[in-house]
């Protein structure tokens, strides 16, 4: 026991007890409160920590959404350019472009046959145009 604290002896049991002043009692109570607060955190402090954690999580989600939006915009711009390139082509160019994609799927011997037949059809029609008398109105339309 501390020498500076007065002691009392209980007459019935003979045990000695230390008397505690009001100030000592307050300090002990403060220490107890501090110890309890470390065991049982303040609900307001916990709420603030949870809000901070939620805020950081929300910021991360917002950043991901912005990134996804930016990527979507890049894809849309690419598609718009692709559509613009195709819309600049007329129906004949688109037709032969799709025919080329189809012919590319053929086996090599069928590719050669398709090329020869298409070449012959186009050549025959071209020769016929040279032999027909030109109609000035229609010739200018098809050039």
Q: Are residues 66 and 97 in the same domain?
A: no
- CB atoms under 10 Å from CB of 131, counted, come to 6
Task: Give me the number of domains the chain comprises.
Answer: 3
Residues 96 and 141 in one domain: yes
Phi, psi of 17 (to 5 degrees): -125, 140
Residues 74, 31 within the same domain: no
Residues 96 and 120 in one domain: yes
Region 123-129 average pLDDT: 93
Phi and psi at 8, nearest 5°, equal -125, 145
Q: If you search the block for the tokens 């016929």, which residue do you land on?
A: 128
Residues 63-109 have pLDDT tens digits of: 989 999 999 999 989 888 887 776 777 888 888 989 999 999 999 99
Helix (H) or strand (E) holding 87: helix 43-87
Q: Decide: 38 and 31 in contact? Cβ < 8 Å.
A: no
Same domain, 46 and 36: no
Residue 29 belongs to domain spanning: 1-40
Q: What is the pTM of this model?
A: 0.35
How high is the pLDDT of residue 1?
47
Q: Are residues 101 and 132 in the same domain?
A: yes
Query: Same domain for 104 and 141?
Result: yes
């Amino acid at each position: 026991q501390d020498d500076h604290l007065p002691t009392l002896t209980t007459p019935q049991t003979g045990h000695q007890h230390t008397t505690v002043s009001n100030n000592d009692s307050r300090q002990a109570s403060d220490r107890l409160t501090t110890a309890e607060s470390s065991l049982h955190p303040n609900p307001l402090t916990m709420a603030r920590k949870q809000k901070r954690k939620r805020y950081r999580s929300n910021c991360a989600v917002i950043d991901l959404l912005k990134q996804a939006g930016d990527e979507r915009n890049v894809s849309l711009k690419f598609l718009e350019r692709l559509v613009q390139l195709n819309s600049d082509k007329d129906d004949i160019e688109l037709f032969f472009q799709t025919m080329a994609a189809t012919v590319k799927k053929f086996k090599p011997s069928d590719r050669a046959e398709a090329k020869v037949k298409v070449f012959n059809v186009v050549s025959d029609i071209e020769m016929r145009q040279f032999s027909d008398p030109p109609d000035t109105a229609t010739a200018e339309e098809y050039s």
